[in-house]
Amino acid sequence: MAACPAGRLNTPIYIGALARFTLNKSHMIFHYIRIAFRNIFRYAGTSMIKVISLSLGLLSAAFILLYFNSEKKFDHFHSDIGQMYRVVVDQKSPTTHHALALSAGPMAPALDREFEEVESFVRAAKSAQQVLVSTDQHRFYETSLIYADSNFFNFFDFPLLQGNAESCLIQNQSLVLSKSMAQKYFGNSNPINRQLTIDSRLFTVTGMMADIPENSHLQFSMVIPLSNFSAAAQSNWRWFPLYSYLKLSAKTDLQHLLDQLPEFIKKYVPESPDNTSVSMSLQPVAALYLSQSRLGEPGPHGNSTILKVLWLIALVILVISGLNFINISTAQSVNQYKEVGVRKISGASTFQMLVRFCCESLFLSIVSFGVSLIGMAFLMPWFLELSGRSEIFNWSMDMDLLLTFFAGSIVMG
């Protein structure tokens, strides 16, 4: 359209011309959509093959990447995950090297005193053996008991369903149960202030927490105060029975802090008569699950190499699916040379022809995405059983992955 002086933009003639131009554009788009639908049904067999092949590729890659995503997001439900670190110890002698996931009891409190970067700390220990837990009606041996500092539920975001995070572990005989453990011993009645005997010692239930999610490196169902653990663990610098965690300030220079740890060890850890040296480091909690496994890990551990291989497999599947879609579309276009010639003679531009074919491919891509979602819904129970998980997709955490897949299906179309 020719340029119009600014003063004449509101004249009836200009407004009418603009309306006709907009109407023609809209009519053209709807016309191409109608033609696209007509061609899809005209070549129903080819369209079906394109939809099935692309949807199978999207479905296969989606399951692989959902598993990949769930493994990468282990422990990410903690709100301050980026500031959490685990204290780990390496013991070296002339003949051995032990990389421990554990640390000495006094280490975390001393780090808190020595370094202003440490905002808070918490320690925990797993029961080394089965404990006998009993009520008047039930007696079971349990393996999921841990000992923890009183601020455990303030440090980590394990939600308490009943009880107070500030005080539930203050008393020496306090006990916090998971929901499933509370139901196991007390049924559906309120467990608060009920009593359990653990290895002949009486404890009072002061809190009930939600069951620990599968994507947590710490797995437990019962928590009692750390004061019930061995007293020697609180003061022995050369005994490493505890898991120690630090929460650092957001502005911490991590490398600067790590550089000061050798001097810290030299100051506090006494020399060993057998010439065994001790070094200490900090592991980001966000990366614990996929980091190199250490002795005494408290829970499940992943394999980053396998995840990289799975990611490459998903990428190859998507590329093959996209190329297959393109090849079928190219072969089908041979039958549409006549239509293209007629439209070019009638005055259609290259851009208009591009829009015409894009409408068809775009529609088939969206249909393929929808079919893959339906397939995912039907096959999810089987996939969860195969992967050993009870949940692998979270709408709030995995929406970005879903949107990426939708955008990918559009691009492949």
CA–CA distance, 183 with 312 (Å, rounded to integer): 44
Cβ burial of 351 (10 Å; 0-12, 13-18, 19+) is exposed
pTM of the model: 0.78
In terms of Cα–Cα distance, which of 164, 161, 162 is closest to 150?
164
User: Which stretches of 97-140 are DSSP H helices?
Assistant: 107-114
Low-confidence ranges of the chain (pLDDT < 70): 1-43, 332-359, 390-413
At 169-227, the pLDDT tens digits run 999 999 999 999 999 999 999 999 999 999 989 999 999 999 998 889 999 999 999 99
- Residue 396 pLDDT: 52
> How is 144-191 classified by DSSP, letter by letter?
-EEEE-TTHHHHS---EEES-TTTTTTSTTEEEEEHHHHHHHHTTS--
- Residue 48 pLDDT: 84
Lookup: tokens for 130 = 């089965």
> How is 3-60 classified by DSSP, letter by letter?
---GGGTTSHHHHHHHHHHHHHHHHHHHHHHHHHHHHHHHTHHHHHHHHHHHHHHHHH
Residue partners of 175: CB distance under 8 A and separation at least 6:
196, 198, 203, 204, 205, 206, 222, 223, 224
- Residue 115 pLDDT: 95
In terms of Cα–Cα distance, which of 243, 119, 228 is closest to 173?
228
Is 89:280 a contact under the CB 8 Å cutoff? yes
Cα Rg of the chain (Å, integer)? 31
Lookup: tokens for 223 = 């928590």
Residue 322's SS3 state is helix
- Residue 50 pLDDT: 84
At 357-377, the pLDDT tens digits run 666 777 788 888 888 889 888
- Residue 348 pLDDT: 55
- Residue 96 pLDDT: 87
Lookup: tokens for 7 = 């003063």
